[in-house]
Structure 1
Amino acid sequence: MRDRPRGRNAARELRNSLSSEERARVDRAVSDLLDLLGKAHTMAILRRFAFAEEPLRFSELEESLEVSPNTLSARLSTLVETGLLDRRAYDELPPRVEYEPTEKAEALFPAFGHFHRWALEYDLERSEEER
């Protein structure tokens, strides 16, 4: 039998070390997080923030992501409401709004490094239609 990946064992050990109450709370939080991250374009938006060196404006996100303005606005609002982004509006003409990741979002950003390490070694097999 093949050895299981170390990451799976570490995740299992962490989960098994929790009390039943902690496990239930963490399971709900993980489920909520995965529901949020599973919404169209949410991961792409967070990825931009993970590698950005400064706050981002709506127009910068709109230019760099293939997402409609309405969807982008909805996702940014959700990310602000869930405490992953801070929204800062400046009293200027024309109006300027910047978004910046919170500490809560910053704690997720190492996952994007893991995705990049994975991509260095692996690739997804795509169908002819997706190429």
Structure 2
Amino acid sequence: MAGRECSIANALGVVGERWSLLALREVLLGARRFDQIVAHTGASRDILAARLRKLVDAGVLEKQQYEDRPPRYEYVPTEAGRALAPILQSLMDWGDRFVTDGPPPTVWEHSCGAELHVRPVCAHCGQPLEPGDSHLVRLGAVQP
């Protein structure tokens, strides 16, 4: 039986690996050069190079040359990469709550200066989403 077509599975095919997500975190936090990303993630150079190449090929990051001799590049987030920031923020909030002992080592800050926490709301009515408020509907599926 073939796997089910699924946006979650497709997204994980692009960013669903530890070093990819940590590299993206660093780029979003401003560490855009390869050596900085290596230092901040702890990834081996060969693994990180492969993950960055995959993120560039998928359109999540792009390489921009910042020096001519020798040619050197930095990684900058594309629109697709910037759109992953709330996902990383949510994952960090979950990790702070259920996995990490003690205060979080980093926080996301809103432009107003307050610590930022992502809270989903209904795009239609604007009400905050609470556990149990939603259910998955398979579009185009035959209803029993």
Fold shared, TM-score > 0.5 on shorter chain: yes
Q: Of the candidates 38, 43, 49, which is equivalent to residue 73 of structure 1?
A: 49
Alignment match, 1:6: none
Q: Of the candidates 2, 12, 15, which is equivalent to residue 37 of structure 1?
A: 15
Give 1:117 shift: 2.4
Alignment match, 2:32: 56
> CA contact under 8 A between 1:86 and 1:102: conserved in structure 2?
yes
The alignment partner of 1:73 has SS state of: helix
Residues 70, 119 of structure 1: alpha-carbon distance in 2 compared, 3 angstrom cutoff: closer
Consecutive unaligned residues of structure 1, counting only runs of 5 or more, are: 1-23, 126-131
TM-score by length of 2: 0.58
> CA contact under 8 A between 2:27 and 2:37: conserved in structure 1?
no
Residues 97, 123 of structure 1: alpha-carbon distance in 2 compared, 3 angstrom cutoff: same
Give 1:68 shift: 1.3
Letter in 2 for 1:37: V
Larger fraction in helix: 1
> CA contact under 8 A between 2:14 and 2:58: conserved in structure 1?
no
By relative contact order (CA 8 Å, sep 6+), the higher-ranking structure is: 1
1: distance between equivalents of 2:36 and 2:87? 23
The alignment partner of 2:36 has SS state of: helix
> CA contact under 8 A between 1:50 and 1:112: conserved in structure 2?
no
> CA contact under 8 A between 1:85 and 1:101: conserved in structure 2?
yes
Q: Of the candidates 83, 99, 117, which is equivalent to residue 59 of structure 2?
A: 83
Among all aligned residue pairs of Structure 1 and Structure 2, give the percentage whose two residues are the same amino acid. 29
2: distance between equivalents of 1:120 and 1:64? 19
Letter in 2 for 1:45: A
Task: Summarize deviations over 1:76-127 as a string: whole Å, max 9, x none.
Answer: 11100000001012452243211000001111110122123224432269xx
> Structure 1 stretches (4+) deviating beyond 4 angstroms?
none
Alignment match, 2:121: none
Residues 115, 56 of structure 1: alpha-carbon distance in 2 compared, 3 angstrom cutoff: same
Task: Summarize deviations over 1:6-50 as a string: whole Å, max 9, x none.
Answer: xxxxxxxxxxxxxxxxxx5xx2x4312112323341111111123
> Root-mean-square deviation (CA), in Å?
2.4
2: distance between equivalents of 1:90 and 1:37? 25
Consecutive unaligned residues of structure 2, counting only runs of 5 or more, are: 102-144
